Amino acid sequence: MNFLNALANSLYITILSVLIIVVLSSMTAWMLARTDNKLSKIIFMIFIATMLIPFQTLMMPLMQFMSTITNTLHIPMINTREGLIFMHIGFSSSISVFLYHGFVKSIPITLEEAATIDGASKFGVFWRIIFPILKPITVTVMILNVINIWNDYLLPSLTLTDKGLRTIPLSTFYFFGEFTIQWNLAMAGLMLTIIPVVIFYVLAQKHIIKGIGEGAVK
């Protein structure tokens, strides 16, 4: 089943994607929440509206578009882990921006005004004051995205064709394709895939429960 290889791929993709998602979506949501013009409202509406679009509606044109980019602009999108990370970021943006936006609105703007008076740049205000306050919702965003990206089967199955690039769900799928009757091997393989999840849960338990509750009520 090539488990260690798949584990490494899954870790690489999940960790990088989640880190970039947290940084970019918090920045975007904060700027959208603090700027009160029509453009911000429209952009935010677009983010939310697309939450309704199921993946199946996008999968085919996305693959076509990505191959076009790969062929014409020579930026490798298909069959690379980086291309997959790029796509995961795109798909997570709606919900991540939505969660951050709601939270940012509840932070009093006086904090930022005080910092600006004291001479902080916009960058300084964001990174040294706002981002630490965002910790609870950042945890929620991280956890939701980790679960989604780690367990995702469909997007990697369409993007990654090399055997060596497979993530855990992919390698499980192909493993079951080859060994449909040898259940003892299959069960052993499944147990392996569950171990990282259990470890993750044991470490993050408190935060997961708290985060989902808060995210939902907001």
Partner 1 sequence: MQNKNNKGWYLLFTAPLFIIFLTVVVIPFVIGIYYSFFKWDGIAANPKVFVGFDNFIKLFGDTRFLESTWKTTLFTILAVISVNIIGLVFALLVTSKLRTSNAARTMVFMPYLIGGLILGYIWQFIFLDVFTLIGQITGLENVFFNWLIDMDFALYALVFVFTWQMAGYIMIIYIAGIQSIPNDVMEASMIDGASWLQRLKNITFPLLMPAFTISLFLTLSSAFKIYDVNLSLTGGGPANSTEMFAMNIYNEIFGYGNYGYGQAKAIIFFLIVAAITLTQVYITKKREVEL
Question: With binding defined as CB under 8 A, does residue 58 bind partner 1?
Answer: yes
By three-state DSSP, how is residue 71 classified? helix
Nearest distance, CB of residue 8 and partner 1, angstroms? 18
* Stretch of residues binding partner 1 (CB under 8 A), selected from 1-9, 11-19, 87-95, 103-111: 87-95
Residues 6+ apart with CB under 8 A from 214: 136, 137, 140
- Examine residue 103 and tell whether it contacts partner 1 (CB under 8 A): no
Segment interacting with partner 1, rule: CB under 8 A, options 1-9, 106-114, 134-142, 171-179: 171-179
Q: Which stretch binds partner 1 (CB under 8 A): 1-9, 89-97, 107-115, 134-142?
A: 89-97
Nearest CA to 28 out of 82, 87, 84, 90 is that of 90
Q: How far apart are CA 204 and CA 202, in angstroms?
A: 6
- Asked if 1 is part of the footprint of partner 1 (rule: CB under 8 A), the reply reads no
CA dihedral sign, ordered 187, 190, 192, 196: negative
**How far is the C-alpha of 44 from the C-alpha of 92, rounded, in Å?**
14
Q: What is the phi/psi pair of residue 119, to 5°? A: 100, 15
Q: Interface with partner 1 includes 153 (CB under 8 A)?
A: yes
Between the two ends of the chain, the Cα-to-Cα distance in Å is 42
* Residue 97 binds partner 1, judged by CB under 8 A: yes
The residues of the shown chain that bind partner 1, judged by CB under 8 A, are 24-25, 27-28, 30-32, 35, 43, 46-47, 50, 52-62, 64-65, 69, 86-87, 89-91, 93-94, 97, 122-123, 126, 147, 150-151, 153-154, 169, 172-173, 176, 183, 186-187, 190, 193-194, 197-198, 200-201, 205, 208-209, 212-214, 216-217
